[in-house]
Amino acid sequence: MFDSGATVAAALDAGGADLSEAQRQPNGVDLTVGAVFEQTEPGAIRRDGKRVGEREELEPEDGAYRLDPGTYVVRYGEPVRIPDERIGFVLPRSTLLRNSCTLDTAVWDAGYEGVGEGRLDVGHAIEIEPGARIAQLVLATADHDGTYDGEYQGERL
Ligand SMILES: O=c1ccn([C@H]2C[C@H](O)[C@@H](COP(=O)(O)OP(=O)(O)OP(=O)(O)O)O2)c(=O)[nH]1
């Protein structure tokens, strides 16, 4: 069972997000673009750990990120808080898909709090304004064992 948009908005409001009316959707909450990065150094996934590679933050030009085809990292503009008994999924706005671009996202664990990131895949040049809505967070009821306690907990709060 998925929560209504109002319930998702209440969870984000409780976590300190400052949501506009436009972000409140029937089935979830739209997330905006907080920052865009280009990775410059390799990261690592090891059996006993991980490292996120170095990246450079892009600067908007004339008020927008003007992105050529390629792979970027997007940081969302809102702190997200996943309540207990929930799992979160972030999906791209369909307009992104209609413009040959997408987001790749992972599971948002119960108990996670922070300003998260995802992979922005640009298949055709696009301009994206900072603060523009790019994705939608939905929450579904889920059983879980414990809550998120990894190194991204509390990131950028
Ligand atoms: O697309 C996503 C998906 C999740 N998260 C946040 C919420 C999630 O709870 C946290 C950790 O995600 P995950 O467990 O997939 O990361 P990991 O690489 O396995 O790290 P850890 O070892 O800390 O679990 O990152 C994002 O920022 N972006």
C-alpha to C-alpha distances, 64 to 67, 83, 146, nearest whole angstrom: 9, 33, 41
Query: Which residue minimizes the CA distance to atom 4 of ligand 1?
Result: 108
Task: Give the integer Cα–Cα distance in Å for 39 and 113.
Answer: 24
Q: Is the CB of 149 under 6 A from ligand 1?
A: no
| d(C-alpha 84, C-alpha 23), whole Å | 23
| pLDDT for the residue 9 | 97
Distance between the two ends of the chain, CA-based, in angstroms? Answer: 29
pLDDT at residue 74, as a whole number: 98
- Ligand 1 pocket mutation pick from 37, 108, 113, 120 by most atoms within 8 angstroms of CB: 108
pLDDT on residue 134: 97
Measuring from atom 23 of ligand 1, which residue has the nearest CA?
A: 150
Indicate the domain borders of the chain.
Answer: 5-40+54-141
> Which CATH class, in words, describes the domain spanning 5-40+54-141?
mainly beta
What is the ipTM for the molecules in this complex?
0.98
pLDDT for position 56: 98
- CA nearest ligand 1 atom 20, residue: 150
What pLDDT shows up at residue 108? 98
Query: What pLDDT does 128 receive?
Result: 98
> What pLDDT sits at residue 36?
98
Q: What is the pLDDT, as a whole number, of residue 57? A: 98
Cα torsion for 111, 29, 126, 129, to the nearest 10°?
-90
State residue 91's pLDDT score.
98
- Residue 104: burial class (beta carbons within 10 Å; 0-12, 13-18, 19+): exposed
The per-residue pLDDT for 14 is 92
Residues in the chain with pLDDT values less than 50:
none
